[in-house]
Amino acid sequence: MAGTLHGFGLGVASKNAKGDVLDVFYPTPLANISGDLVSIFDGVSGELKATEIRALSDGLRSAGEHALADIAVRLSEAGRPVVASLLADNAAPQTVADAYLKLHLLSHRLIKPHGTDLTGMFALLPNVAWTDEGPIDLAELADRQLTSRLKGRVLEVASVDKFPKMTNYVVPSGVRIAHTARVRLGAYLGSGTTVMHEGFINFNAGTDGPGMIEGRISAGVMVGKGSDLGGGCSTMGTLSGGGNIIISVGESCLLGANAGLGIPLGDRCTVEAGLFVTAGTKVTVLDDAREAVETLAARHLSGQSDLLFRRNSQSGSVECLTNQTAIELNESLHDNN
């Protein structure tokens, strides 16, 4: 094998009673691999035997990858199912292990949102109970709950979902997350990102950081440096509703409390509190003298910078004018090291 690999991960898997993989934890995933590692990883995929893991560890050590080699040794001695996922190119995931590797690559900041093909991932991922004893197949949950009760314990079920919370797999450096269940594995959080209690970040979405997130970042949405998403605000994703516009928020933008966004924003834009701007929202554009120039659908303003969207308190119409000020984040709030 020659060239570059899209990704590789060696991890520990959880399985149900039938042997189906429920999740995979990759402690040190790799992306955009080239050089000697390409040949070392050639053909290394699926569940590995202890001898195969040790051979991989020897190859990694000879290539100078001592940290990953040490992890391989620890995995070989753990007595748990160890799987390898090899992504030769940026193709859709084929297995649960592939899907989890791609989610890890995003949350480890090795690939940015939209940088890896996630087509078909929902059909691959099992819906499981995420508990304080790890993921449990839903068909096995009732028996596990009874077993715990008979031992005088309560099995804590945190959620029932296809996606676990990110912090059970990786905590990126330089971030604060007030409520960890509100950030899914596969989210990308740049250094300096602060996610408050009601903030939410979906998979394949995130922030360049620094930024204050008190609203919702839906799947596929990326927020630029220095931007603030106010409490209760929402960005439209592409998973539901038939939308196919990729929403993004530029640098130094502000979405006010309970605002909503359905178009991409450039830099230094503001959407006032309580205003939801969709692609079809009729917007009256004002000039420097606050005189109406034209009325158009908001989609025609997509990606433009220095815009302020507001609702006229008298007429109720949505207006757009040049934003005279850019927000400035409190640097001390986003020094999360």
- Asked whether the beta carbons of 23 and 13 are under 8 A apart, the reply is yes
Pairing of strands 176-177, 193-195: parallel
Phi and psi torsions of 86, nearest 5°: -115, 115
Beta-ladder partners of 206: 188, 222
Strand residue runs (E) in 63-189: 82-87, 128-131, 134-137, 157-161, 176-177, 187-189
Selected from 3.30.70.20, 3.40.50.2300, 3.30.70.2010, 3.40.50.2000, the CATH number assigned to the domain covering 5-125 reads 3.30.70.2010
Query: What residues are labeled active site?
Result: 214
Q: Residue 10 class from Cβ within 10 Å (0-12 exposed, 13-18 middle, 19+ buried)?
A: buried
| Model pLDDT, residue 337 | 63
- Domain residue extents for the chain: 5-125, 129-161, 166-334
By three-state DSSP, how is residue 329 classified? coil
Query: Which pairs with CB-CB distance under 8 Å and at least 24 residues apart come from 271-278?
Result: 271/233, 271/309, 272/308, 272/309, 272/310, 272/311, 273/230, 274/311, 275/309, 275/310, 275/311, 275/318, 276/234, 277/309, 277/318, 278/236
Helices 66-76 and 50-62 pack at an angle, to 10 degrees, of: 170
Structure tokens at 249: 């928020």
| Model pLDDT, residue 245 | 79
* pLDDT, tens digit (0-9, with 9 covering 90-100), for 302-313: 999 999 999 998
Mean pLDDT, the chain, integer: 93
Measure Cα distances from 299 to 59, 250, 255, 286, 319 in Å.
Answer: 53, 16, 17, 16, 14
Look up residue 233 and give its amino acid. C
Phi and psi torsions of 70, nearest 5°: -65, -40
| Model pLDDT, residue 295 | 94
| Model pLDDT, residue 54 | 93
Q: Residue 193 class from Cβ within 10 Å (0-12 exposed, 13-18 middle, 19+ buried)?
A: buried
| Model pLDDT, residue 242 | 45
| Model pLDDT, residue 325 | 59
Look up residue 285 and give its amino acid. V
* pLDDT, tens digit (0-9, with 9 covering 90-100), for 243-293: 567 899 999 999 999 999 999 999 999 999 999 999 999 999 998 888 899
Q: Does domain 166-334 have CATH number 3.30.1360.150?
A: no
129-161: CATH number: 3.30.60.70
| DSSP H or E segment with residue 150 | helix 138-150
Pairing of strands 30-33, 134-137: unpaired
**Residue ranges of the chain with per-residue pLDDT less than 70:** 1-2, 239-244, 324-337
| Model pLDDT, residue 329 | 52
How many other C-beta atoms lie within 10 A of the C-beta of residue 160? Answer: 13
pTM value?
0.92
